[in-house]
Structure 1
Amino acid sequence: MARSAPAFVAVFLLVSALLSIGAAQLQPPSGPPTDPSDAAALHAVFRQWSLESEVAGKDPCQNPVWNESLARNASVHCDCPSGVGVCRITHLNVTGYKNITKIPLELFNLTELVSLDLSNNNLNGSIPPGVSNLSKLEIWHFNNNNLSGSFPHELSLLRNLKSLWMFDNYIEGLVPEFIQNLTKLTDLRIYGTKIQGPIPRNLSILTNLEILMLGDLEGNPSYFDVIGEWSNLTMLSLRKCRLTGQLPSTPRNLPKLNYLDLTSNNLSGSIIQLLPYKNSSFIYVGENNFSERLPPEIVRPSLSLDVSYNHFVNGSLSNIPADQKWPINYIGTSVDASGIVDSRSLAILNCLRMKECNNSSLTNPGTSFAINCGGKQIDYPDLMQTVFSEDSTDLGGAGFHISTTSNWVVSRVDSDPFNKSSIVNISDNILATNMQELYKTARTSTSSLRYYMVGLANGKYVVQLFFAEIVITEGLGRRLFDIDIQGHNIKKDFDITNEAGGFGKATNITQDVTVYNSILEIHLYWSGRGTCCIPYKGAYGPLVSAIAVTRSVDPKVSPPEAPRSNSGRQDEKRRGVIAGIAALCIAAALISSSVVYLWWKWVSIVKRPVA
């Protein structure tokens, strides 16, 4: 027994220590209480957001986290200066609550806020002018909501703002001139809204900018002179901003620029003007009017380069080894690729360049195609009697792949440096389909996907697009993109999850089209809407599982009544006239007979002898 005593004492001390630790953890955290005005304001806000049950009876700064997950976040951070005796709420995050639909006025009583994140909710209505009370605000993210109206002028008073995210809303009006007053801005993102240009030229005075993303601006054109001498700028995206004119002959001083996106504008002039930015990792200038020779020194294996649909750009890619895939998309240009592609691929590229195929260059015009986007070849003989050909080439940040056996091309431009692959796949089962494997892979992009079927016999076709959302599997995330076929928009803000009725469920779109010039083009593209970073950065933009194109077959119907010729109708009219005349003659004869009969009766009565 004597030997066991030390062991017993050790166990007793260990249990006591653990109990002490547990008891300490059950005690409320120590520290100064929340400032009464801040606490009252926060509780009032949470009551209107139906979140009061999570904070009722609690001191906010001593219970800073109420909900923290990928889908939702409700938390505060406080500053507790020594000697003051109270804590002030400086950071408020409330994201991912679809039941939150308005901005309570009490929110603007939290005057010490430095950071306010209200993204990914369902806020609607206009931004209240009381926002001017938050004069210490440095970070304000209210992206991915349904806010409308215009920028309140009071926002110009937030002179400490460094990061302003307001993309994916319905805010309208002009890009406000007062943004030039927010001179501390380092990160400005405005796209996927109803805001119109032009971009204020005085934007160039925001010398602290590190990230500038403007996009989807209608209205009056803008010019590249809005770009300033931004020595700290690393990311510049002016996608679809109606930029017009030429790049300045004296290049802007952007020494840290790593990402340049000028897609879908009206920029012209020599493409050589891009040379000052050649050390970037991403240059996207597709769908513009640049011209002249593509500088060979700008084409590098470490640069994702998109110059597609600049019809006047020419030059040669002879500096690219034929056996090496470089990240460049030059479809729709006059760039000579004969040194790096085979004759069959070159014939297909020439078809796309001329926007029409000479069938002598492509044997046997096709009448059907099927593609398993992002996956291997799949055959469904019992279900569709179609072989879905393989489409598993990773196209990186910019590139295209030509299927010479089936005469189709896939072209991709990816506008997000965080999106590492154009192919996604899962192993989970897909609901609402008996073609599981077809939907377990997909091709994606954060900007643009184009599929071309080349060498089709002209006529009418049926296009089937196959979708299943296999990336964004949380209710908070939203993938929205547009779909054009043959240059006509058939879906705006298409949401796979809504269309299918849930995540991981199959859905299809069927569209009748007409091919006139032997080329069918399917374009899926991001228009600035939807969430950006759920479940990871770069998880947005178009996604497609498969494509099938078949020649239309007229349905079997009863033959219509043969049309009557003009002569037949004239004969019918003639017969009608004759029948009418005959009827009139018969009527006249009857009337005449009646008159004769009455006259005879009258005569017989008059001549009868008197008795």
Structure 2
Amino acid sequence: MAPSPPLLLLLLVLTGLGLAAAQPEGPFPPFQQQRSTNAADAAALRAVFQQWGLAAAAGAPEEDPCQKRVWLQSFATNASIDCGCDAANGECRITHLNVTGFWNISVIPPALFNLTELVSLDLSNNNLSGSIPPEVSNLSKLETWHFNNNKLSGPFPNESSRLGSLQSLWMFDNYIEGLLPEFIANFTNLTDLRIYGMKLRGPIPKNFSNLINLEKLMLGDLDGGNSTFNFIADWANLSTLSLRKCGIIDQLPSTPPKLPKLTYLDLRSNNLSGSIQQLLPYRSSRYLYVGENNFSGQLPSEIVQSSLALDISYNPLLNGSLPNIPADRKWPINYIGTSIDASRTINSENLTLLNCLGMKECNRTSYTNPITSFAVNCGGKQKTYQDSLPITFSDDTSNLGAAGIHVDTDKQWVVSHVGSDPVVSESPGIVNTNQGFLGVDMPELYQTARTSRSALSYYVVGLSNGKYTVQLFFAEIVIDSQLNHGPGRRLFNIDIQDQNIKTDFDITKEAGGFRRPMNITYEVTVDNPVLKIHLYWNGRGTCCIPYEGAYGPLVSAIRVFRPKNPNNIPPPTPPRSARPDNKRRGVVVGIAALCIAMAVISSSVAYLWWKWVSLVKHPNA
């Protein structure tokens, strides 16, 4: 008798379970177990891993790469692949290779370019040096190519122009030089392009307007070659446009391109001119940075919105009164270095002070008691320490947001901040640690710090003229580059009184490790009422370790004081030492006079003797 349908179904299920149990265990479903990596791909990967010192991690030669896939994975280091398998022949090709965060990886192996099916290649945050080999053109299927935060140099090879499928290209923080390549404009599938912190030169090619699919465009630190806005087109999907320090000498277009999704616009440190009214089409953005340019006119009230982080600092041609700032405004406006009229503005005393900071025309007579010292606990509460004299480090815990300023209640110092990451909207601003610092004076100062993703400035106001010692306190408390031999690096520049004193400053390297304090001491002459300390990101250093946006300047505390001998004048001679000097001078003068007298007497005696002898020998003479 034939089995009933329910019984037949039960038998089929049991049979299937038995077959599944008979399959060997592995990382893939049973139907993929018989698939294997293409022999050429497997050989190429083993050669690459062997040259990078990852051969042991790759396992025995007979181990199939596409069966293993992941070798090392953490926030600091990563070595993994992904594969695409053909259902017809059971062969798998390596399509993704991610090897990031290894200090010992310094060369690009030739075998890498035998992985011709690669769709994604991420070699960021290593120690790669030398030039990019022209054989990169073999990887014509690449859609993602990230090699940022390395030490690669030389020109960007022309053979890269064959990578027409690219959608994401990150090549920042290297030493690549030459003109910004025009052939990048042929990568019309690009959605994410980031090129900054290198040695490339402008201008930005006009045919970049072909990149109609862009969502993020970040260019910066271009030397030479003046650029204009003629490369910006109607980019319907663009949300981030950062053109910091690109040598742009243009005015904003009178007919602006259509950028309906734009939320982040950074045009800092160019030479833009024209009316500030030209920014009105971009007032729907969340971040608008146009500092260090030459915009003119009066700031329109329509642009002062509660949700817009606005930086108009160091546009000396701006004038007129500042529009009323909405009470619900999330961030303040950074307008240091403008000529905004304070007469009709709320808190005009602060505004007058901020104007004079930028112009360096503070009226010294308004400071009846000039100061000779200053100290601030950056990012921390007020602290007082007993030295030969008590030192009070002022509170510096104000939230400066994405673009803001804070004036101390005593009007003796100001802190200014500009910068936010285009991917991570909120900036920490202040960071701290509960870990203690042993064997150092004033250890609490190093437990907090103020940070910025672009520019951070402190101004000391009302100093009397003379020589001062500037002491900067640092300790890296965020990026632990020693954890798992991680690749994190914080690099930034430091200027004091507009003179650069540090380029690519690395706290961890200078201090000898993570969470180790160190100080920089610098002597400066103050001949006007303002002392400016400027710390700023120059496009270099890692961007995302241990989290997105962990980069840019960081400072723990600042102290300014007069040295013990500020004018380098030799101390006056004590009175007790004057008497022996006078005695010595009297003895010397007396001896000299005696010698002269003896010489005169000797000459006279000799003359008389000669005369007497002449009379004896010639009596009739």
> Do the structures match in fold with TM over 0.5?
yes
Is residue 248 of structure 1 aligned with residue 248 of structure 2? no
Cα separation, 2, equivalents of 1:383 and 1:426: 29
Kept in 2: contact 1:367–1:551 (CA 8 A): yes
The residue number in structure 2 matching 1:457 is: 464
Cα separation, 2, equivalents of 1:456 and 1:431: 34
Say which of 37, 46, 59 aligns to 2:49: 46
Q: What CA RMSD, in Å, does the superposition of the two structures yield over aligned residues?
A: 3.0
Cα separation, 2, equivalents of 1:101 and 1:358: 56
* Shift in Å, 1:362: 3.0
The residue number in structure 2 matching 1:295 is: 300
- Change over 3 Å in CA distance of 1:62–1:401 after alignment to 2: same
Q: Deviations over 1:306-335 (max 9, x none)?
A: 000001112333421579664311111122
* Shift in Å, 1:21: 12
Q: Deviations over 1:329-377 (max 9, x none)?
A: 1111122355554354234224214312212323311111100011110
What does 1:263-274 correspond to in 2, within 5 Å? 263-274=268-279
Kept in 2: contact 1:197–1:222 (CA 8 A): yes
Cα separation, 1, equivalents of 2:313 and 2:238: 25
Is residue 64 of structure 1 aligned with residue 69 of structure 2? yes
Q: Deviations over 1:575-604 (max 9, x none)?
A: 9xx99xx99x99xx9xxx9xx9xxx9xxxx
Q: Deviations over 1:210-246 (max 9, x none)?
A: 1111100101111111211111111000000000021
> Which amino acid is the alignment partner of residue 554 of structure 2?
L
SS, match of residue 227 in structure 2: coil
Kept in 1: contact 2:300–2:323 (CA 8 A): no
Kept in 1: contact 2:468–2:562 (CA 8 A): yes
What does 1:17-416 correspond to in 2, within 5 Å? 24=25, 30-57=33-60, 58-321=63-326, 326-337=331-342, 341-382=346-387, 385-416=390-421
Q: Deviations over 1:496-538 (max 9, x none)?
A: 1011111111110000001111100000000000000011111
* Shift in Å, 1:122: 0.4
SS, match of residue 108 in structure 2: coil
Kept in 2: contact 1:345–1:404 (CA 8 A): no
Q: In percent, how many aligned pairs have the same letter? A: 63
The residue number in structure 2 matching 1:567 is: none
Cα separation, 2, equivalents of 1:321 and 1:61: 58
Is residue 516 of structure 1 aligned with residue 527 of structure 2? yes
> Which amino acid is the alignment partner of residue 408 of structure 1?
W
Say which of 499, 508, 512 aligns to 1:488: 499
SS, match of residue 272 in structure 1: helix
Kept in 2: contact 1:261–1:283 (CA 8 A): yes
Cα separation, 2, equivalents of 1:323 and 1:513: 41
Cα separation, 1, equivalents of 2:120 and 2:194: 16
Q: Deviations over 1:392-420 (max 9, x none)?
A: 00101001000031510000001314143
Kept in 2: contact 1:318–1:339 (CA 8 A): no
Aligned residue-pair number: 561
Q: Deviations over 1:552-581 (max 9, x none)?
A: 32179676999xxxxxxxxx9xx9xx99xx
Kept in 2: contact 1:66–1:75 (CA 8 A): yes
The residue number in structure 2 matching 1:8 is: none
Cα separation, 1, equivalents of 2:132 and 2:98: 18
The residue number in structure 2 matching 1:433 is: 440
> Which amino acid is the alignment partner of residue 362 of structure 2?
C
Kept in 1: contact 2:304–2:323 (CA 8 A): no
* Shift in Å, 1:194: 0.5
The residue number in structure 1 matching 2:584 is: none
- Change over 3 Å in CA distance of 1:315–1:427 after alignment to 2: same
> Which amino acid is the alignment partner of residue 43 of structure 1?
R
Kept in 2: contact 1:456–1:519 (CA 8 A): yes
Kept in 2: contact 1:368–1:549 (CA 8 A): yes
- Change over 3 Å in CA distance of 1:138–1:112 after alignment to 2: same
> Which amino acid is the alignment partner of residue 256 of structure 2?
P
Kept in 1: contact 2:106–2:127 (CA 8 A): yes
Cα separation, 2, equivalents of 1:363 and 1:320: 32
The residue number in structure 2 matching 1:498 is: 509
* Shift in Å, 1:476: 1.7
- Change over 3 Å in CA distance of 1:277–1:558 after alignment to 2: closer
TM-score w.r.t. length of structure 1 = 0.86
* Shift in Å, 1:301: 1.3
Moved more, 21-30 or 405-414: 21-30
Moved more, 24-33 or 156-165: 24-33
Cα separation, 1, equivalents of 2:351 and 2:272: 28
Q: Which runs of 5+ in 2 are unaligned?
A: 1-17, 579-588
Cα separation, 1, equivalents of 2:158 and 2:559: 51
- Change over 3 Å in CA distance of 1:114–1:383 after alignment to 2: farther
Cα separation, 2, equivalents of 1:103 and 1:245: 40
The residue number in structure 2 matching 1:543 is: 554
* Shift in Å, 1:153: 0.3
The residue number in structure 2 matching 1:421 is: 428
Cα separation, 1, equivalents of 2:355 and 2:140: 58
> Which amino acid is the alignment partner of residue 30 of structure 1?
Q
Cα separation, 2, equivalents of 1:200 and 1:121: 30
Cα separation, 1, equivalents of 2:518 and 2:138: 48
* Shift in Å, 1:78: 0.2
Kept in 1: contact 2:244–2:269 (CA 8 A): yes
Kept in 2: contact 1:458–1:515 (CA 8 A): yes
TM-score w.r.t. length of structure 2 = 0.85
